[in-house]
A and B are shown apart, each in its own frame.
Chain A
Amino acid sequence: MPEDGVQSVVDLFAGLDSVVTEIYQKSKSEVFGLSRQQFDVILQEIARKYLPVDAARNDMRELLTSVRAEELALARACALGHQHAWEVFLTRYREKLYDIAGYITKESSAARELADSIYAELYGTTTRDGQRTSKLASYMGRGSLEGWLRTVMAQEHVNRYRRQRRLVSLDEETEDGIQFASPESEPAVAVDPRVEAATDEVLGALPSEDRFVLASYFLDERTLAEIARTLGVHESTISRKLDKLAKSLRKQILAALGRRGMSRRQAQEALEVDVRDLRVNIRSRLAQETGGPAFSEKKAEAPADGS
């Protein structure tokens, strides 16, 4: 039931009939075998998934007009088993599936296996309650269909890799209603809690994009080019940002430690001491982490060697 003063998705949708009609026409749904009613249901599904409860009509209009209508119609028609839609899908994406798999796996036999496996899921070889379930039914048109296929394949690849490390499958998580849960964070190794708190305060105050850049570069060891490509900026922009962050972080942590009652010398020593200790701590933590589950609370058996 919609809250007072908050229009339901259906109400908002009803007020955008002309917009939806235009989107329907552009989507070529009729060519792919989708009726207007079916298409409306799909759009409402998208709106429910991505709009907040108190969304305004303009928000919905913006969301719906940003959807890749034609690709959405194609994907959903394929999910429903329309033959012509499948012909078009295969013409456009069959070779791309293998290209994408090749890029992700870097090895031809693994690529073929991954592509074939995804293709089967897209076609819908599994059934639920007597109905064929195709992965394409979950495509929402927020990005291109090719990009979506790329992401799905990347997830499947990561899933397989982790499965080989005896971790719980992503698919099982999805079936249970959780995509994949994060592991419980390891208890912090003994360090001055003021140092941790000061660091957390400084990191928390950073924009999320800056934290993403720091994590990508220093934790994931991604290249400047990769990070720049992800954010859609020039490589030099990332380089300058990292330099600036690296120089300012230490300064800000020292200032935060000062606010916590440490003198400058104490703060510097605490930071340096922690650095030395942490080298040992990180090594031991990494040694522990490689054996533990990454995705789920359902912990798989740890390998006997503890790696």
Chain B
Amino acid sequence: MKKLLWLIIAVSAVSIMAGTASAAKLLLINGAGATFPYPLYSKWFYEYAKVDETVNFNYQSIGSGGGIRQITAQTVDFGASDGALTDEQLKAAPGELLHIPMTAGAVVITYNLPQVSQSLRFSPDVIADIFLGKIKKWNDPRIAKDNPGVNVPGDNIIVAHRSDGSGTTNIFTDYLSSVSAEWQSRVGKGTSVNWPAGLGGKGNEGVAGLVKQTEGAIGYVELAYAVKNNLPASDIKNKSGNFMVPSIESTTAAINGKMNSMPADFRVSLVNPDGADAYPIAGLTWILVYKNQPDKVKGEKIVKFLRWAITDGQEYSAELLYAPLPEKMVKKIEERIDEIRY
């Protein structure tokens, strides 16, 4: 009995020592936050491990809310969020938090109308009134006006939205608030809102499931999900009056459209940008880091990684269906990264 006990102690002591020995080689940097950029971030961490072998990134995609809470509590080395922090949230943090834009995503409006073969087109006010529950039938004259020559059936419109809090909902409701005064005052924008109409599905797959299963349904999903699953995507009328197909290029164009009004802290919404070829329902996603890094070694590694991610790292964006940041934007972000002290 005693022998067994000693054996257990010995084995565990050896394994603990082995554990610390291998950990000493690698510097572990912890991050947590948004789920939307997770596929891109994990690709980056994988590729970056080849660039710098001494550092290991560990990212928990627990949601933007959790990411903001954890970086505020300083339990992680960096946070990530699909929504910019409010002034209040910035004040709650123990130090100055910087928003570093990493990539952009777009939201696609998808639908289920088996009779309609070409892509439907929507004006901003029509989308808002559909999601407000005011346009109830597919053959509404306002939908027909945007789609001349398309035989739209007289089915009821069934709205599907995300039931879980998400950055996708944040971008979409941000867009609706910017194009409809009624949406802005009645519903507003956020990761979860009080939906005036429709059914809630959990996750992109939940919304896509509802739309696929229900004839006459309309819903929104993120671009990458819509492309990978071949969902029908609507063309949306942008500020210049062009109907734009959601794509990586038109999302990057949306960032370009906001360059002139880009604030220094990058807390900017991409919806409804200028530019003839910009897709209007898009949003940035950020990594959150403290301007004054508490740990010299980690701070240096984080800065190096961020610089790599917005330059070399951008080449991985398109294949994973994220919009690469435009050159001009990258320059501005590099200046911002230079401000980080460690």
Do these two chains interact?
Answer: no
Q: Which residues of A contact B (CB under 8 A)?
A: none
Q: Which residues of B contact A (CB under 8 A)?
A: none
